Structure 1
Amino acid sequence: MNISVIKYFLAIAILVSFSFSALETKPTEKPVTDKPNIIVLLCDDLGYGDLSSFGHPFIETPNLDKLGATGIKLTNFYSAAPVCSPSRVGLLTGRSPNRAGIYDFIPAPKKSEDIRDLVHLQAHEQTIPALLKTVGYSTCLVGKWHGSSKFNSDEQPKPDHFGFDHWMATHNNAGPSHQNPKNFVKNGEAVGEIIGFSSQIIVSEAIDWLEKKENDNPFFLEVAFHEPHEPIMSPENLVQKYLKYTDVREEAEYFANVENVDIAVGRLIVYLEENNMDNTLIVFSSDNGPETLQRYPRATKNYGITAGLKGRKLWTNEAGIRVPAVMKWIGKETYTGTSEAVVSSLDFLPTFCELAGAKLPENELDGESFKSLLDKGEFKRSKPLIWAFYDAINEHRVAMRSGDYKIMARLVAENEELPHIHNLYDGNIDFVKGAKLTDFVLFNLTKDFAESEDLSAKEPKVFKKIKKEFEAEYKDLLAGSHVWVR
């Protein structure tokens, strides 16, 4: 064999050796099956104190309590808004709902001066299910949508546009009540009357979707309960159970309504366990605080409690936005215990994207990943949480949580309090931008979660610092808020 042939075979051997070495050291892409399933369970108008683990003296919620006891119970968890539609949009997008142009609940389409009939989650907004689909997830929504004025119309995007492979939902409330609802739509087709109670109906639909899912892809499932929002109806056996605690039947119906959700959650958990879905992160919360009894004619059964927090739904005080929350990662060792970390539903999108390996959207996010809370029980926000709810019942309609403190302010334009506003549009935006933050109040929520003592005069250095931050954050939010034009 001549020298040139020897050199040729030597070169081939070196090349093959290098190739195998490269294969051994090259990191492999994480298999799809290693990505966690993610389930968001969302109640409607549930009070901070409405779970037994959050202090309710009568309502029994053993399944949700167990999730918190074996996972994480969050005592400083916030919704994105003190009312339904903006809260849900904030959860899905990781952005203040003001940036998406959702300022209040979305009614059925009816032309008005402030053009609320146009309001909807716009097609360009990037959502949790859409982002997770890019890394192999199957996705499903069951329950309440409330993200468009023209529900199930080709004039506005439907849930499938935002990444839901399968959806069975209502525009707003289950109607005519939670019992035997008639207004569900499945993948664009009206379903008609369904016998049963809404919480059980949607969990059955979720389980059916999981049963029929044709692949082993990880999944994202949003279970958006209608309970305990009006019109409340509950199983009679549960109502009778709670009549021993109250002689007001409507109150017993409310208690039963919450327990019926817990029973539905228990059914879903049993299904997961029986089918070895042991890499599943479950997050439970509420879209906002409890409704006020008799606030409107049909609000006859709203007996939710706030556990000492000030306000209720539609307030920027704590009871409007601080809600019960528990998390449990089935099949994975995480931090376990009660956490006082300040967490928001805005944080779901960046957290889920990090866990799934999905890229974050390019548009501005207000949420932050709390993966470190799952890993180590530690999470500290780098950016404060801010709410500007122009239709708030309380006077201080703009609020911000920064560390241990919460600062709030009224809005005054032309020497008068800003009128109640449902929507920002080209007819009022200049007026709103001309309004000034005033009459500031400051609370230390770690010492005074009832917001009973204004510290703006007692702690001038803290107040000055946080007030400056607050004004800058509100200015940024207002500048980035969507303005509707007909």
Structure 2
Amino acid sequence: MMKLTGITGICGLLMGIGLMLNALPGDAQRKKASQPNVIVILTDDMGYGDIGAFGGDIVPTPNIDKLAASGLKLTQYYSGAPICSPSRASILTGMYPGKWNFTTFLDTRKHNRDAEQIDYLTTQAPSIARFFKNSGYATGHFGKWHMGGGRDVTDAPGFAQYGFDEHASTYESPEPDPAITATNWIWSEKDSIKRWDRSQYFVDKTLDFLRRHEGQPCFINLWPDDVHTPWVPRVETEYTGKFPMNPQEEAAFKGVLKEYDVQVGRLVEGLKALGMADNTIIIFTSDNGALPTFGGRRSGGLRGSKLSLYEGGINMPFIVSWPGHIPANRTDERSEVHATDLLPTLAKLSGVKIPKDYAGDGLDRSNVFLGKSSLRGKEIFWEYGRNDIAYNYPKGTDRSPRLAVRSGEWKLLMNADGSNAELYNIAKDRAETNNLQAGEPQVTKELSGKLSAWWQSLPKLNVH
């Protein structure tokens, strides 16, 4: 044991203790600063075939392709639902949206009752933003919400109750931004930020938030409402003639997608200018499939569309980039990843603690993100269609049975009563053209049993 002699020794000890104590906050701050920023870009209604890096050729997407080249592409990433509200809820909570009574897009109270769902996400639900905030992150939501608020639902909880420090959101939210909601609707010519400038607006909000929180890690939902209809491209550069052009035609879509790609590039360049590019995890994906699909082109050869449990409705383009950590220019065609996996995976990569009592449905797939391909080893389930009132779409061959399960190479679809069972080997038949249900009775029986049990486990609202 060191022996202290005289005033000098005691003063030296006290000074040393003081230096240690003063260092602790700085060390903690440096640890926080070393945690990565996380930006989840959730595109609205983007199909697998919309992006050049995934084989799309509708319009060049050089900036999104460059982002893909900087990181990892997953070809077997699945959204939580083939429609926006439940898909978004699955990302926020890390749980199947049916567990929180989300079944389709939120609309009026009558529509929600007809669809056998709630009017907004309860604040009792877990929230990825809340988990990150509790671990010292600054949290922001910039873009579409659509998990409560809008139309005649005026009592939806505000963003702060889900763990967000700041927000700027659209009409379909509890606190719409006046700059993009001058009237009581999704968009208007009276908006000070025009429809074609919204993605730029949300990117600007994201970069400003990061700039103001330099030294503190940030978690940001960047959820634009592009490339969802109505497609309203920039007038002076994209077309001449009547305004607006037909918001369902391909020429309008091309203009919107080109501008959206530009804004993704602005985000990446903005991160570089802030010196944050190497310490930011970027996720880029979509909430559900495309509609309209232009004869299937926007679905990239996959069957189905938005509103369908075929692959075109739920198999989404997915990019994750984190320079120096995630391998660059890599494609993983083997690893299944589900939207519910994002919460535990991003928490692991960011050093964020998840509460011990959290019982999510997702798996930590951080090893996949870091380049170690692996099968998921756990089934993935979906529902879409509790009755004929609110779910009678899409029409024709894109309309799928109402439940689905993916288990390894197999995917089974069926209705809740067990009818219309379809079985596909997705590893060999991604286009779902060869129904093997009759020839694989054992696989059909096993998966239909698991799917039925999962369906029965979901809460059902008594809305009548």
- Whether the 8 Å contact between 1:335 and 1:374 is mirrored in structure 2 is no
Aligned to 2:7: none
Aligned to 2:377: 382
Q: Distance in 2 between matches of 1:464 and 1:111?
A: 35
* Residues 251-277 of structure 1 deviation map (CA, whole Å, 9 limit, x = unaligned): 121012112111101111001111110
Q: Distance in 2 between matches of 1:343 and 1:33?
A: 28
* Residues 101-155 of structure 1 deviation map (CA, whole Å, 9 limit, x = unaligned): 1111011445875487951010111111110011110011111011104589872
* Residues 18-72 of structure 1 deviation map (CA, whole Å, 9 limit, x = unaligned): xx9xx9xxxx989112211100111111111001112222311111111212211
* Residues 439-479 of structure 1 deviation map (CA, whole Å, 9 limit, x = unaligned): 32110011111111111222334333333333333333x2x
* Residues 138-179 of structure 1 deviation map (CA, whole Å, 9 limit, x = unaligned): 011111011104589872211221111110001339xxxxxx
- Whether the 8 Å contact between 1:335 and 1:376 is mirrored in structure 2 is no
Aligned to 1:71: 71
* Residues 157-216 of structure 1 deviation map (CA, whole Å, 9 limit, x = unaligned): 11221111110001339xxxxxx843599xxxxx95224521111112222222333x51
Q: Distance in 1 between matches of 2:321 and 2:32?
A: 21
1:35-434 superposed matches below 5 A: 35-110=35-110, 114=114, 119-150=119-150, 155-172=155-172, 181-183=180-182, 193-195=192-194, 197-213=197-213, 215-236=214-235, 239=238, 250-277=249-276, 278-292=278-292, 305-334=298-327, 336-340=329-333, 341-361=335-355, 362-390=357-385, 391=391, 393=393, 394-411=399-416
User: Which structure's CA Rg is the greater one?
Assistant: 1
Secondary structure in 2 aligned to 1:49? helix
Q: Distance in 2 between matches of 1:152 and 1:262?
A: 34
Secondary structure in 1 aligned to 2:376? coil
- The offset of 1:219, in angstroms, is 0.4
Judging changes above 3 Å, is the alpha-carbon distance between structure 1 residues 111 and 76 closer, same or farther for their aligned structure 2 residues? closer
Query: Which ranges of structure 1 fall in alignment gaps of 5 or more residues?
Result: 1-5, 10-15, 174-179, 186-190, 242-246, 294-300, 412-435
Q: Distance in 1 between matches of 2:93 and 2:183?
A: 24
Q: Distance in 1 between matches of 2:76 and 2:309?
A: 15
**Amino acid aligned to 1:345:** A
- Whether the 8 Å contact between 2:171 and 2:181 is mirrored in structure 1 is no
* Residues 312-368 of structure 1 deviation map (CA, whole Å, 9 limit, x = unaligned): 110111111111111111343546511121112211111111122223242431211
- Whether the 8 Å contact between 2:136 and 2:217 is mirrored in structure 1 is yes
Secondary structure in 1 aligned to 2:49? coil
- How many residues end up aligned between the 2 structures? 419
Judging changes above 3 Å, is the alpha-carbon distance between structure 1 residues 335 and 467 closer, same or farther for their aligned structure 2 residues? farther
**Amino acid aligned to 1:374:** F
Q: Distance in 2 between matches of 1:34 and 1:151?
A: 42
Q: Distance in 1 between matches of 2:313 and 2:268?
A: 29
* Residues 210-229 of structure 1 deviation map (CA, whole Å, 9 limit, x = unaligned): 2333x511101111111111
Judging changes above 3 Å, is the alpha-carbon distance between structure 1 residues 377 and 275 closer, same or farther for their aligned structure 2 residues? same
Secondary structure in 2 aligned to 1:438? coil
Identity of aligned residues (%): 32
Secondary structure in 1 aligned to 2:222? strand
Q: Distance in 2 between matches of 1:33 and 1:233?
A: 40
**Amino acid aligned to 1:373:** V
**Amino acid aligned to 1:383:** K
User: Which segment drifts farther, 343-352 or 463-472?
Assistant: 463-472
Judging changes above 3 Å, is the alpha-carbon distance between structure 1 residues 183 and 230 closer, same or farther for their aligned structure 2 residues? farther
Q: Distance in 1 between matches of 2:81 and 2:247?
A: 31
- Whether the 8 Å contact between 2:230 and 2:248 is mirrored in structure 1 is no
Q: Distance in 1 between matches of 2:181 and 2:412?
A: 44
Q: Distance in 2 between matches of 1:109 and 1:482?
A: 17
Q: Distance in 2 between matches of 1:248 and 1:482?
A: 37
Aligned to 2:31: 31
Judging changes above 3 Å, is the alpha-carbon distance between structure 1 residues 82 and 112 closer, same or farther for their aligned structure 2 residues? closer
Q: Distance in 1 between matches of 2:462 and 2:151?
A: 18
Q: Distance in 1 between matches of 2:46 and 2:264?
A: 15
- The offset of 1:238, in angstroms, is 5.5
- Whether the 8 Å contact between 2:414 and 2:420 is mirrored in structure 1 is yes
The RMSD of aligned alpha carbons is 3.5
